[in-house]
C-alpha cells in the first residue's frame, strides 16, 4: 500500500516538475530578440511587408504574452505539441522522429560508460596504488578533461580519413537501402565513433566515482569482517561493490540530463539525426514550438529516468525501501 | 514580336563550346568542360551532395531560401531556364515571345510533359502557379511579378501573360528557381500555406521526390518519364545534411559525399581539398547570384550621417587585401554599388570615384577633417560600433580587419556579434546600429536584387533586406523607376550608370567585393555546373563516371 502512495506522490511531483519546466522554458524563450518571422524573411533574402505581417498573424506572434503562456500550458496538459509552420509539420511528428536516434545514442553510451566506468573503478579500487590504478587514474583525468567536439573530430581524422575504417557521419549509409540484419550492422558501424566520443567523459566520471566509493566501503567493518572470515577475494569484492555502486547510480540519474546536453554537440559533429541537431536549428530559427517540444520531451525523459533510478535503488540495496 | 527560340536547338553543344573555349581557360584548376568533352556521358549511379543547412521544408513555391532551392530545382521546373551565359533558354515552354511594348508575353508549352504523379501539365497549371501561388506566397516573385495582371489560357498548351507595365527582365525570372510551376490538381482549393506538398513535392523535373529523413537526407530518384529523352542520367540524387563544417569536409575527403556547393565547405578548406587527386574545385555556376559584400551605414546617426565619413571608410579599407586574405582570393574588389555580373546585360559604368582597390589613408584623413571629425588629444576622431553579419567566420575576420583599419585614422571601433534573429531585428526593425557588414544577392537583374536597397519606398521597418540605410534621394528613385520599365538595353544601362555615379558619391552603403563561391566535387561527378544556375540548376545533364 505504502508503495502505491509513494509512487503516486512521486508521479505528482514529476508532473508538477514538467509543468514548471515548461513554463520557465516558455518565458526564457521570450527573452532573445527576433522571432521566427525575422529569420524566415531574412533566409529568403527579403520579403514584402504584407508577407511579413501575414506570417506574424499566422504564427500567432501578435497575441499578448500571458495569453500565449496560458495557451501553451493548456496544450502541454493534453500533450499537444502544436504545429510548426516553418517545417510545415506537426511538432510531435518532428520530435518523435528524432527521439529514436537520440535514445539509441544515449542508451548505448550510457550502458557502455557504466560497464566500463564501473569496471575500471573497481579494478582501480582493488589494485589501489599499484600500476593498474595509476594507469587508470591517469587515463581518467585525461578522459574527463578532453573536450567532446575535439575528441570527435580527432577520431574522425584517425579512423575515417587516415585509416578509412569507419564512416565520418550519419546514422546509416544513404542510398544503400539495407534491410533487416544488414541495416542493424550498418547502424552499429555508424554508431561506433559518436558513442565512443560521448562515452569517454562518462567512463572517466563513473570510474573515478566508483574508485572513491569502493575505497570508502573497503574500509568499513563489514568488509573487514568479510576478509577476516576468510572469504575468497571474489566474494569480498562483490560485497563491497554492491554497496559502493549506490552513489554511482545516483550520479547516473543526475547525469542523464547532462548527457542529453552533451549529445547536442556529438550529434552536430557526427551528423547524427537526433533531437540535438533539431533543437540547435530550431533555436537559431526561433521556432519556439519545436524548441519547447524538445524541452518538454527531454524534461519528461529526465524525470522518468530519475523515477526509474529510484526504483532500481531498492532492487540493488533492499535496505532502501521505496516508501521512505 | 522580338524573340523566338527553337525548341530543338542544341543547347548543350553551344554550352560546351562556350565553356571549353572561355571559362576553361580562365579557371585552370577547375573541373573544366573541355576535359570532359572527351568522355561520353554514362547513365546510372547515385550522386550524394551536401545541402547546408537542412531546409525547413521543400516548398520552393513559397520560399527563396538557398537550401530549398538547391533541392527544389531538381523537382520543379520553370517556363524557361538560364544558360551558362545567364541568358534565357527554353524550359517547359518550348518557345516564347514578348510583345514590343513589353505588356504581354506568349508561351507555348512543350507537349507530353507529365507531373510526377502522371497527370499532364497544362496551361491551367501555369496560370494557377503565377496568379494563385507565386504572386501571393513567393517572397521574391511577389516583387518581380508585381506588374503581372493576368495569365490567359487560350488552349491547353498556350499561356498569355498580361502586364500593367513593361518588365524588361521577364525572361530572366522564369526559371524553376525563381518561378517554379506547381501542380494545380494537388493545390487548388486547399490551404496553400499548410500543404502536404510542402514536404512531399510533386513537379515535372528530372528527379522525383522519394523520401525525406529529417536530420539525414532527402532522396530523389530519376524521373523515368522526363520530357528530355534519355535524361537525367543518374538513378538517384541524395541531398545530405551534416551540421558541422569539419565533418562535411571529412565526408568529402572520405568520398561519402560527392559534391558540396555554396559555402558548405569553408573557403580555406576548399583550396586544400582541391589539391587532393580525387577532388576538384570550381567557381562556375554562381553568376546568377551576383553576390556582393558591403558595409551598410545608418545614415541617420552620427558619425555616418555625413557622406564624407562614409567615403573616408571606403578609402581606409583595402579591398584587395580583404579579397586575398579574408576571402581567400574568392572574388574581385567591387567597382560600383552593382554586381559586376551585370556587365552581361550591358551595365558597366567604368571607373567611379571612391572605390579604390588599395588603402588611401591620406585621402581618408582629408575627408574626415572636411566632415569636422577632428582628432582629440589622444588622436580619437569618433567611437563607433560595428555589427557583424552572423553568417560565417569570414565576416568576423572582416570585422576584426575593419576595427584595425579604422583605428589607423582615429576611429575607435567596438565589434558586436549576435545571432541571426537578433541581428536581423536590430538592423531591420529597430535601426539600432551604426554600420554593419552584410552581403546581397543582386540576382539576375538589378530590379530583382538591388533596387530595394536604394529606393526611398523600400524604407520599410520590420522587413529584412530592404533599404536599411534609410538613404533617400529623389533622383535615384526616379532613375530606378525608369530603369524598371525601360526596354532599350543601351538606355537602360545609361540610367544605371547615372545611378551608380550618385551612389559612388553619396555612399549610403559601401560595396567591398564581388563574391565568388566554390563547388568542391569528387572527380566522378561530371557536368554539374553547365547551367547558369550552377548548384541551383536542374542537373539533368549531370552524370557519374564509373570508377
User: Which of B54, B65, B194 lies nearest to residue A88, judging by beta carbons?
Assistant: B194
Report the chain A residue with the minimal C-alpha distance to residue B57.
A87
Contact B250 A169 (CB under 8 A): yes
Report the chain B residue with the minimal C-alpha distance to residue A161.
B254
Nearest-neighbour CA in chain A from B254: distance (Å): 6
Contact B194 A161 (CB under 8 A): no
Strands B331-333, B158-163: pairing kind: unpaired
- What residues of A are in contact with residue B238 (Cβ under 8 Å)? 174-175
**From residue B63, how far is each of A51, B135, B139, B248 by CA, in Å?**
11, 12, 6, 25
Distance separating alpha carbons of residues B267 and B513, to the nearest angstrom: 15
- What residues of B are in contact with residue A89 (Cβ under 8 Å)? 57, 199
Most confident listed range (A63-77, A163-177, B130-144, B171-185): B171-185
* pLDDT confidence of residue B14: 37
- What residues of B are in contact with residue A48 (Cβ under 8 Å)? 139, 142-143, 463
Distance separating alpha carbons of residues B199 and B191, to the nearest angstrom: 14
Secondary structure (DSSP) of B485-504? H---HHHHHHHHHHHHHHHH
- What residues of A are in contact with residue B420 (Cβ under 8 Å)? 34, 39, 42, 284
At a CB cut-off of 8 Å and minimum separation 6, what does B40 contact? none
Tell me the longest C-alpha to C-alpha distance in chain B.
Answer: 79
How many Cβ atoms are within 10 Å of B398's Cβ, its own excluded?
24
List pLDDT tens digits, range B231-249. 999 999 999 998 888 889 9
Contact B105, B97 (CB under 8 A): yes
Distance separating alpha carbons of residues B480 and B476, to the nearest angstrom: 6
User: Which of B56, B57, B242 lies nearest to residue A271, judging by beta carbons?
Assistant: B242
Q: Residue B280 forms beta bridges with which residues?
A: B521
Distance separating alpha carbons of residues B53 and B72, to the nearest angstrom: 14
- What residues of A are in contact with residue B48 (Cβ under 8 Å)? 174-175
574568392: which residue's cell?
B330
The yes-or-no verdict on residue B308 having pLDDT over 90 is: yes
Contact B424 A42 (CB under 8 A): yes
Report the chain B residue with the minimal C-alpha distance to residue A168.
B251
Contact B193 A85 (CB under 8 A): yes
DSSP B119: P
Question: For all residues of chain B together, what is the average pLDDT?
Answer: 88
Q: Which of B542, B482, B460, B468 is nearest to B235 (CA)?
A: B542
List pLDDT tens digits, range B518-536. 899 999 999 888 888 889 9
Q: Which of B102, B99, B4, B89 is nearest to B487 (CA)?
A: B102
Contact B56 A44 (CB under 8 A): no
Which of A36-45, B58-67, B209-218, B314-323 is the least confident region? A36-45
Report the chain B residue with the minimal C-alpha distance to residue A158.
B250
Distance separating alpha carbons of residues B63 and B59, to the nearest angstrom: 6
Q: Is B374 exposed, middle or buried (0-12, 13-18, 19+ CB in 10 A)?
A: exposed
- pLDDT band at residue B538 using 50, 70 and 90 as cut-offs: very high
Q: Is B285 exposed, middle or buried (0-12, 13-18, 19+ CB in 10 A)?
A: buried
Contact A175 B246 (CB under 8 A): no
Nearest-neighbour CA in chain B from A194: distance (Å): 12
List pLDDT tens digits, range A218-229. 888 888 888 888
At a CB cut-off of 8 Å and minimum separation 6, what does A97 contact? B214
The yes-or-no verdict on residue A34 having pLDDT over 50 is: yes
Nearest-neighbour CA in chain A from B38: distance (Å): 29
- CB–CB contacts below 8 A, A to B: 180
How many Cβ atoms are within 10 Å of A187's Cβ, its own excluded?
16
User: Which of A47, A164, A280 lies nearest to residue B254, judging by beta carbons?
Assistant: A164
Average of per-residue pLDDT across A124-151: 90
* pLDDT confidence of residue A44: 65
User: Which of B48, B54, B420 lies nearest to residue A174, judging by beta carbons?
Assistant: B48
- What residues of A are in contact with residue B463 (Cβ under 8 Å)? 41, 46-49, 52
How many Cβ atoms are within 10 Å of B308's Cβ, its own excluded?
17
List pLDDT tens digits, range A201-212. 999 999 999 999
Classify the C-alpha dihedral B322-B325-B326-B329 as positive or negative.
positive
Give the domains, in start order, of chain B with CATH numbers. Answer: 14-58+205-287+523-544 (3.40.190.10), 76-187 (3.90.76.10), 291-515 (3.10.105.10)
At a CB cut-off of 8 Å and minimum separation 6, what does B200 contact? B58, B209, B212
Contact B254 A280 (CB under 8 A): no
- pLDDT band at residue A46 using 50, 70 and 90 as cut-offs: low
All 3 cell numbers of residue B234? Answer: 543518374
All 3 cell numbers of residue B278? Answer: 580525387
Q: Residue B525 forms beta bridges with which residues?
A: B544
Classify the C-alpha dihedral A313-A317-A322-A324 as positive or negative.
negative
What 3-state DSSP class applies to B419? Answer: coil
How many Cβ atoms are within 10 Å of A59's Cβ, its own excluded?
20
List pLDDT tens digits, range B182-197. 999 999 998 887 788 9
Strands B259-260, B46-50: pairing kind: parallel
All 3 cell numbers of residue B430? Answer: 529597430
| Optimal mutation site among A56, A164, A277, A288, interface B, most CBs of chain B within 10 A | A277
At a CB cut-off of 8 Å and minimum separation 6, what does A162 contact? none
Phi and psi based region of residue B422 (left: phi greater than 0; alpha: psi -120 to 50; beta: remaining)? alpha
Distance separating alpha carbons of residues B31 and B33, to the nearest angstrom: 7
Nearest-neighbour CA in chain B from A142: distance (Å): 23
Contact B254 A32 (CB under 8 A): no
* pLDDT confidence of residue A169: 86
All 3 cell numbers of residue A54? Answer: 501575414
What 3-state DSSP class applies to B48? Answer: strand
Contact A170 B254 (CB under 8 A): no
List pLDDT tens digits, range A49-73. 777 777 777 777 777 888 888 888 8
What 3-state DSSP class applies to B260? Answer: strand
Q: Which of B215, B400, B427, B375 is nearest to B321 (CA)?
A: B400
| Optimal mutation site among B55, B70, B139, interface A, most CBs of chain A within 10 A | B139
Average of per-residue pLDDT across B60-83: 91
For chain A, which residues make up each domain, given as ranges? Answer: 1-91, 96-320
Nearest-neighbour CA in chain B from A187: distance (Å): 13
**From residue B505, how far is each of A286, B309, B328 by CA, in Å?**
39, 11, 29
List pLDDT tens digits, range B106-151. 999 999 999 999 999 999 999 999 999 999 888 788 778 989 999 9
User: Which of B54, B250, B422 lies nearest to residue A34, judging by beta carbons?
Assistant: B422
Contact A45 B247 (CB under 8 A): no
- pLDDT band at residue A45 using 50, 70 and 90 as cut-offs: low
- Quickly list H helices, B360-445: 361-370, 393-407, 420-424
Q: Which of B393, B499, B389, B376 is nearest to B446 (CA)?
A: B499
Contact B214 A98 (CB under 8 A): yes
Contact B256 A268 (CB under 8 A): no
The yes-or-no verdict on residue B26 having pLDDT over 60 is: no
Contact B182, B76 (CB under 8 A): yes
Distance separating alpha carbons of residues B525 and B285, to the nearest angstrom: 15
Contact A98 B215 (CB under 8 A): yes
* pLDDT confidence of residue A128: 86
Instruction: Classify domain A96-320 at the CATH class level.
Output: mainly alpha
Q: What pTM, to 2 d.p., does this model score?
A: 0.80
User: Which of A271, A284, A287 lies nearest to residue B420, judging by beta carbons?
Assistant: A284
* pLDDT confidence of residue A321: 62
The beta-strand segments (E) located in B18-177 are 46-50, 80-82, 88-90, 93-98, 104-109, 148-155, 158-163
Contact A47 B139 (CB under 8 A): yes
**C-alpha of B326 from chain center:** 21
Contact A250, A309 (CB under 8 A): yes
Q: Which of A21, A88, A69, A15 is nearest to A295 (CA)?
A: A21
Contact B64 A32 (CB under 8 A): no
| Optimal mutation site among B135, B194, B250, interface A, most CBs of chain A within 10 A | B250
Which of A172-176, B102-106, B111-115, B429-433 is the least confident region? A172-176
Contact B241 A271 (CB under 8 A): yes
Nearest-neighbour CA in chain A from B475: distance (Å): 24
Contact B243 A97 (CB under 8 A): no
What 3-state DSSP class applies to A220? Answer: coil
Contact B462, B428 (CB under 8 A): yes
Strands B93-98, B207-213: pairing kind: unpaired
Contact B420 A39 (CB under 8 A): yes
Contact B215 A269 (CB under 8 A): no
Distance separating alpha carbons of residues B505 and B116, to the nearest angstrom: 53
Amino acid at each position: 500500500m505504502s508503495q502505491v502512495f509513494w509512487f503516486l506522490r512521486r508521479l505528482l511531483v514529476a508532473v508538477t516538475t514538467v509543468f514548471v519546466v515548461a513554463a520557465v522554458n516558455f518565458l526564457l524563450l521570450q527573452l532573445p530578440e527576433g522571432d521566427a518571422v525575422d529569420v524566415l524573411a531574412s533566409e529568403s533574402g527579403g520579403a514584402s511587408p504584407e508577407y511579413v505581417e501575414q506570417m506574424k498573424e499566422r504564427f500567432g506572434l501578435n497575441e499578448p504574452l500571458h495569453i500565449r503562456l496560458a495557451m501553451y500550458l493548456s496544450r502541454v496538459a493534453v500533450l499537444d505539441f502544436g504545429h510548426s509552420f516553418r517545417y510545415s509539420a506537426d511538432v510531435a511528428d518532428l520530435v518523435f522522429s528524432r527521439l529514436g536516434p537520440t535514445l539509441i545514442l544515449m542508451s548505448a553510451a550510457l550502458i557502455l560508460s557504466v560497464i566500463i566506468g564501473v569496471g575500471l573503478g573497481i579494478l582501480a579500487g582493488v589494485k589501489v596504488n599499484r600500476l593498474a590504478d595509476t594507469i587508470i587514474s591517469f587515463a581518467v583525468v585525461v578522459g574527463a578533461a578532453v573536450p567532446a567536439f575535439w575528441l570527435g573530430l580527432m577520431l574522425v581524422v584517425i579512423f575515417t580519413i587516415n585509416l578509412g575504417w569507419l564512416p565520418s557521419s550519419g546514422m546509416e549509409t544513404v542510398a544503400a537501402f539495407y534491410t533487416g540484419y544488414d541495416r542493424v550492422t550498418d547502424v552499429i558501424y555508424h554508431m561506433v565513433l559518436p558513442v565512443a566520443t560521448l562515452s569517454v567523459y562518462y567512463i572517466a566520471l563513473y570510474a573515478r566515482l566508483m574508485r572513491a566509493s569502493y575505497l570508502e566501503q573497503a574500509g568499513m567493518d563489514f568488509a573487514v569482517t568479510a576478509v577476516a572470515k576468510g572469504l575468497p577475494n571474489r566474494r569480498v569484492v562483490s560485497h563491497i561493490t554492491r554497496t559502493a555502486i549506490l552513489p554511482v547510480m545516483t550520479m547516473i540519474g543526475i547525469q542523464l540530463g547532462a548527457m542529453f546536453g552533451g549529445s547536442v554537440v556529438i550529434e552536430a559533429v557526427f551528423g547524427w539525426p537526433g533531437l540535438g541537431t533539431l533543437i540547435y536549428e530550431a533555436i537559431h530559427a526561433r521556432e519556439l514550438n519545436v524548441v519547447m517540444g524538445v524541452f518538454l520531451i527531454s524534461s519528461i525523459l529526465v524525470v522518468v529516468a530519475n523515477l526509474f533510478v529510484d526504483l532500481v535503488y531498492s532492487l540493488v540495496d533492499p535496505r532502501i525501501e521505496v516508501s521512505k | 514580336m522580338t524573340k523566338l527560340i527553337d525548341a530543338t536547338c542544341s543547347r548543350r553543344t553551344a554550352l560546351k563550346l562556350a565553356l571549353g573555349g572561355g571559362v576553361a581557360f580562365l579557371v585552370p584548376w577547375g573541373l573544366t568542360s573541355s576535359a570532359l568533352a572527351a568522355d561520353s556521358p554514362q547513365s546510372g549511379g547515385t550522386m550524394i551532395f551536401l545541402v547546408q543547412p537542412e531546409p525547413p521544408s521543400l516548398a520552393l513555391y513559397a520560399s527563396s531560401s538557398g537550401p530549398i532551392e538547391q533541392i527544389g530545382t531538381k523537382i520543379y521546373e520553370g517556363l524557361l531556364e538560364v544558360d551558362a551565359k545567364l541568358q534565357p533558354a527554353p524550359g517547359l515552354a518550348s518557345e516564347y515571345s514578348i510583345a514590343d511594348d513589353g505588356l504581354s508575353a506568349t508561351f507555348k508549352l512543350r507537349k507530353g510533359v507529365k507531373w510526377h504523379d502522371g497527370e499532364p501539365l497544362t496551361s491551367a497549371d501555369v496560370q494557377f502557379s503565377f496568379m494563385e501561388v507565386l504572386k501571393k506566397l513567393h517572397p521574391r516573385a511577389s516583387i518581380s511579378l508585381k506588374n503581372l495582371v493576368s495569365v490567359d489560357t487560350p488552349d491547353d498548351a498556350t499561356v498569355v501573360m498580361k502586364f500593367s507595365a513593361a518588365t524588361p527582365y521577364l525572361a530572366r525570372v522564369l526559371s524553376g528557381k525563381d518561378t517554379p510551376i506547381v501542380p494545380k490538381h494537388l493545390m487548388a482549393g486547399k490551404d496553400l500555406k499548410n500543404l502536404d506538398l510542402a514536404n512531399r513535392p510533386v513537379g515535372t523535373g528530372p528527379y522525383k521526390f522519394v523520401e525525406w529523413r529529417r536530420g539525414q537526407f532527402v532522396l530523389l530518384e530519376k524521373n523515368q518519364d522526363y520530357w528530355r529523352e534519355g535524361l537525367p542520367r543518374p538513378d538517384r540524387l541524395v541531398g545530405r545534411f551534416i551540421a558541422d563544417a569539419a565533418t562535411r569536409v571529412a565526408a568529402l575527403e572520405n568520398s561519402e559525399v560527392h559534391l558540396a556547393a555554396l559555402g558548405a565547405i569553408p573557403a580555406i578548406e576548399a583550396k586544400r581539398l582541391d589539391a587532393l587527386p580525387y577532388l576538384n574545385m570550381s567557381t562556375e555556376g554562381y553568376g546568377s547570384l551576383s553576390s556582393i559584400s558591403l558595409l551598410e551605414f545608418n545614415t541617420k546617426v552620427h558619425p555616418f550621417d555625413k557622406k564624407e565619413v562614409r567615403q573616408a571608410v571606403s578609402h581606409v579599407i583595402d579591398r584587395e587585401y580583404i579579397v586575398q586574405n579574408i576571402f581567400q582570393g574568392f572574388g574581385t574588389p567591387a567597382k560600383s554599388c552593382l554586381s559586376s555580373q551585370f556587365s552581361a546585360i550591358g551595365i558597366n559604368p567604368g571607373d567611379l570615384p571612391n572605390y579604390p582597390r588599395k588603402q588611401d589613408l591620406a585621402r581618408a584623413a582629408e575627408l574626415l577633417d572636411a566632415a569636422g571629425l577632428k582628432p582629440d588629444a589622444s588622436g580619437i576622431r569618433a567611437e563607433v560600433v560595428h555589427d557583424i553579419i552572423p553568417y560565417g567566420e569570414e565576416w568576423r575576420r572582416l570585422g576584426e580587419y575593419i576595427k584595425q583599419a579604422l583605428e589607423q585614422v582615429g576611429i575607435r571601433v567596438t565589434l558586436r556579434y549576435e545571432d541571426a534573429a537578433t541581428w536581423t531585428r536590430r538592423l531591420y526593425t529597430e535601426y539600432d546600429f551604426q554600420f554593419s557588414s552584410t552581403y546581397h544577392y543582386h540576382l539576375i537583374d538589378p530590379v530583382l536584387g538591388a533596387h530595394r536597397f536604394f529606393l526611398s519606398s523600400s524604407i520599410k521597418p520590420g522587413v529584412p533586406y530592404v533599404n536599411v540605410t534609410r538613404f533617400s534621394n529623389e533622383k535615384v528613385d526616379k532613375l530606378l523607376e525608369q530603369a524598371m520599365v525601360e526596354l532599350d538595353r543601351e538606355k537602360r544601362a545609361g540610367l544605371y550608370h547615372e545611378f551608380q555615379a550618385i551612389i559612388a558619391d553619396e555612399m549610403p552603403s559601401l560595396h567591398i567585393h564581388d563574391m565568388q563561391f566554390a563547388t568542391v566535387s569528387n572527380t566522378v561527378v561530371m557536368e554539374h555546373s553547365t547551367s547558369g544556375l550552377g548548384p541551383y540548376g536542374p542537373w539533368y545533364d549531370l552524370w557519374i563516371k564509373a570508377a
